[in-house]
């Protein structure tokens, strides 16, 4: 008789805590390296996004503003992203893939 294997998809709070720490560490690394190697910073972002998906941990508001959802670029204002305030909305544009991100801004 075949045994039914049930794999839990739920992640324990301890795992989520580790995931959160790894994400903020990856963002710290991206912040430290983007000047020398933008490609490496982008790689850190895509790793952080993978962790976020796998462990279902959300990014903080600050973290969300620092990467492009479309091409996984680590965004540095004035370098590869442009921010404009229009009608109480903060519009951030990624200069690599031209994708926009809008947030309500008060
Ligand atoms: Zn982009």
Residues written for the chain: 106
Residue 8 domain flag: no
Residue 4 domain flag: no
Inter-residue contact 75 to 81 (CB < 8 Å): yes
Q: How many CB atoms lie within 10 A of CB 64?
A: 13
Higher pLDDT, 71 or 3: 71
DSSP structural state of residue 92: E
**What is the reported pLDDT for 86?**
87
Inter-residue contact 45 to 67 (CB < 8 Å): yes
Please give the model's pTM, rounded to 2 decimal places.
0.84
Q: In whole angstroms, what is the distance from residue 68 CA to residue 9 CA?
A: 28
Ligand 1 center from residue 84 Cα (angstroms): 16
Cα dihedral: 69, 77, 43, 34 (round 10): 180
**What is the reported pLDDT for 8?**
66
Residue 7 domain flag: no
Ligand 1 center from residue 67 Cα (angstroms): 8
Q: What is the pLDDT of residues 14-44, one digit of tens each?
A: 999 999 999 999 999 999 999 999 999 999 9
How many structural domains compose the chain? 1
Residue 75 belongs to domain with CATH number = 1.20.5.420
Structural domain of residue 100, as residue ranges?
Answer: 13-104
Q: At what angle do helices 13-33 and 38-55 cross, to 10 degrees?
A: 170
Neighbours of ion ligand 1 (CB under 5 A): 68, 70-71, 73, 94, 96-97, 99
Q: What is the pLDDT of residues 45-101, one digit of tens each?
A: 999 999 999 999 999 999 999 999 999 999 999 999 999 998 889 999 999 999 999
List 104's β-bridge partners, or say none: 89
Ligand 1 center from residue 9 Cα (angstroms): 31
Ligand 1 center from residue 101 Cα (angstroms): 10
């Amino acid at each position: 008789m075949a045994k039914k294997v049930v794999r839990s998809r739920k992640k324990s709070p301890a795992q989520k805590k580790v995931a959160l720490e790894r994400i903020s560490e990856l963002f710290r690394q991206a912040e430290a390296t983007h000047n020398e190697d933008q490609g490496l910073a982008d790689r850190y972002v895509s790793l952080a996004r993978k962790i976020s998906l796998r462990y279902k941990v959300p990014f903080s508001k600050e973290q969300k503003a620092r990467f492009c959802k479309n091409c996984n670029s680590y965004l540095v204002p004035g370098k590869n992203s442009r921010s404009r305030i229009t009608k109480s909305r903060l519009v951030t544009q990624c200069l690599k893939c031209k994708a926009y991100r809008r947030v309500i801004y008060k």
